[in-house]
Amino acid sequence: MTAKEFLEIELRLNAELDQLVFGSPVRYVYRPLQYAWEPHQAFVQRFCRGGQSVLFLGMNPGPFGMTQTGVPFGEVNVVRDWFGITGEVGRPAEEHPKKPVRGFAITRSEVSGARFWGLFRQLCVEPERFFRHCYVHNLCPLSFTAESGKNVTPPELAVEECNALLAKCDAALCQIVRVLGVTTVIGVGHLAEKRARKALAAAGMGDVRVGWLMHPSPRNPKANEGWAEVAMVTLEELGVLALLRNE
């Protein structure tokens, strides 16, 4: 029942976000939970179980990860080879010529996803061990690209557009936290962490602990100096390593 409820929340959010219009600096809007719904649904149905106490929260899809596969931090090799998930991936209504959607045929690896899932693959060996206690979700399911091809993050949107977008995403996040029954939300990067704190506090859900994990993006110089080592320390402090070691 948990996976079904989770997907229903996402479908409602999709419909609400379809009503929003985005101006400069956004030129292209990618909606992977529409054109890559098949692999996304497979991911949720397989791994979203309820009783998972930790939710890792990303901000929004990366251009070579979830934008291609429909899976959070969805580096294609991880999704296909470790999760065992494939599926039909369509095309967005419009796409930047330098950032086409190729789905599982993409040859470029997403560094953030490879680092994130690579660590948990090393720690857990099998994905079921990770998902016994943890789940992963993106606050916002949309990816934005400028005319130049530059990735546009939600905080870089026009203020009114950003506020409208995140208000809807915040509400969906709180519903998801209730459905999953998680007790800890770990923001992957400061943007996700701060947004989780704000959303949960506003919803009167201050009993849910919020933590932070350094973002593995190659745009983060500190992540390039050894993200896995830093992440291991953080996961130990947050008690996640103890969960993963618990059979």
Say how many CA atoms lie within 13 Å of 207 toward its Cβ: 6
Q: What is the model's pLDDT at position 1?
A: 66
First CA to last CA distance, the chain: 24
Pairwise CA distance, residues 77 & 140, whole Å: 23
Pairwise CA distance, residues 73 & 138, whole Å: 9
Structure token digits, residue 16: 């609400």
Pairwise CA distance, residues 229 & 97, whole Å: 36
Q: What is the model's pLDDT at position 51?
A: 86
Pairwise CA distance, residues 247 & 236, whole Å: 17
Question: Which position has the token pair 């934005």?
Answer: 144
Q: What is the model's pLDDT at position 186?
A: 98
Pairwise CA distance, residues 161 & 15, whole Å: 16
Q: What is the model's pLDDT at position 247?
A: 56
Q: Which residues in the chain show pLDDT less than 50? A: none
Q: What is the model's pLDDT at position 59?
A: 97
